[in-house]
Amino acid sequence: MEKLEARILIVDDDQDVLLAAKLFLKQHISIVHTETNPENIPDLLRNESYDLILLDMNFSPDATSGKEGFHWMNKILEIDPTSVVILITGYGDIELAVQGIKEGATNFLLKPWENKKLLATITTTLQLRQSKVELEDLRTKQKVLIADSDQAYSNLIGQAPSMQKVLNTVQKVAITDANVLILGENGTGKELIARAIHRASNRKDEVFISVDLGAISESLFESELFGFKKGAFTDAKEDRAGRFEAANKGTIFLDEIGNLSFALQSKLLSVLQNRKVVRLGTNKEIPIDVRLICATNMPLYQMVNESKFRQDLLYRINTVEIQIPPLRERVEDITLLVDHFLNDYCKKYKMPQKRLNQSTLTRLEKHTWPGNIRELQHAVERAVIMSESNMLEPHDFFISQMDENRNTDTIPSNMNLEETEKMLIRKVIDKHGGNISKAAKELGLTRASLYRRIEKYGL
């Protein structure tokens, strides 16, 4: 039988007990240490890390109260709260052992023990400890991921009065559990606002689950949001929680909620009203406790009048409504945003710090930015990558080309292949608000290939 990879400490004042336990356990456990004097426990724990500690409850002659065992168990847990302790008692006092478990022990053993019982108890306890370690590891990783995610969305930049109004609303609503509806054009930073609300809420240490409803097909809506049981459909090979269950105790952000069909709106409304989900393939209701934040760039009130969006769902999701202004209405923030993106991308690409001259800034402020902050962000990234100078000029952002061709929808018949390709690339980049990844995907190119063509055509 292969030995278990574990470090065990046995503390007992009976040398015969220690010797017998060590001789037996050494056959099954990789490292077994013994100690007769409990006074040495603090030094042992400072110098070694043990997966399991077996601790006698009585050390003084004729002692039967278990007070010594409780004292040293508490000392062990004080030094290392993650320690796993099995109490040993020789008097068959079950009540004493139960009291020990209430105070922090994981299990207990009665002396004299059978070797099989001893090994079984140790093995079971080690498995339990491993589960606890894995759970704590998952919690730690979750906290790191939450922190990383928050860091990526941590900068709310805006001095314009319209943005100050948004930030004030965020501050007020964050400390409540009110449902929030965020309205705004594409690229205005709706998810940024949603994460800011979560980060300032009482749920900040729990998960933030973002769901792009526009990217989920109607056939997958229920399985993705509410989960499913193994065998519920052809590819359901295991039980799986949906996004609402995953967000339990935290925040769920439903982006592009205006894209839902009327039928799916009804299913979502039912979940929001009952605060329960039912996984596909079951009838069991699972309670959920989530903070709901929704967003859309679509005119929901007009859609209600046109019977394209449920009025009762709109009332359910918009306890507080936040309207994010487009970039063209907060021109005074462009300088702040450009400085922020320049710092980020110069660090990311390990380039010298680049700056803008006043004429470039003026041109940026005059541009309408239909793709809003996302378009500005990608324009700055592209300028950082493509410009050979540390002083960025208007042509580094190809603003002139964007403005001149924004309304150009036809291709003249006398254009050659290269001119046609140049115009097509410019139109697709413009269509996606300067998002190179999306433009490259639509053109069937890699990002690197698209960048080479941008450089070739001076775009």
Burial class (CB in 10 A: 0-12, 13-18, 19+), 241: middle
When comparing pLDDT for 134 and 312, which is higher? 312
Q: What is the tens place of the pLDDT at every residue in 148-180?
A: 555 544 568 889 999 999 999 999 999 999 999
The amino acid at residue 445 is L
CB 250 within 8 A of CB 206: yes
Contacts of 13 (CB under 8 A, 6+ apart): 36, 37, 56, 59
> What share of the chain has pLDDT > 70, as a percent?
89
Which residues, other chains included, contact 421 with Cβ-Cβ below 8 Å and sequence gap of 6+?
A: 453, 457
- pLDDT of the residue at 153: 44
How many other CB atoms are found less than 10 A from the CB of residue 127?
11
CA quadruple 270, 275, 276, 277: dihedral sign: positive
Please write the tens of the pLDDT for every residue from 343-371. 999 999 999 999 998 889 999 999 989 88
Distances (CA, A) of 346 to 154, 192, 351, 410: 19, 22, 5, 37
> How does DSSP assign 66-82, residue by residue?
-HHHHHHHHHHHHH-TT
Return mean pLDDT, the chain: 86
- All domains in the chain, ordered by first residue: 4-133 (3.40.50.2300), 153-325 (3.40.50.300), 328-457 (1.10.8.60)
Choose among 389, 404, 325, 400: nearest CA to 364.
400
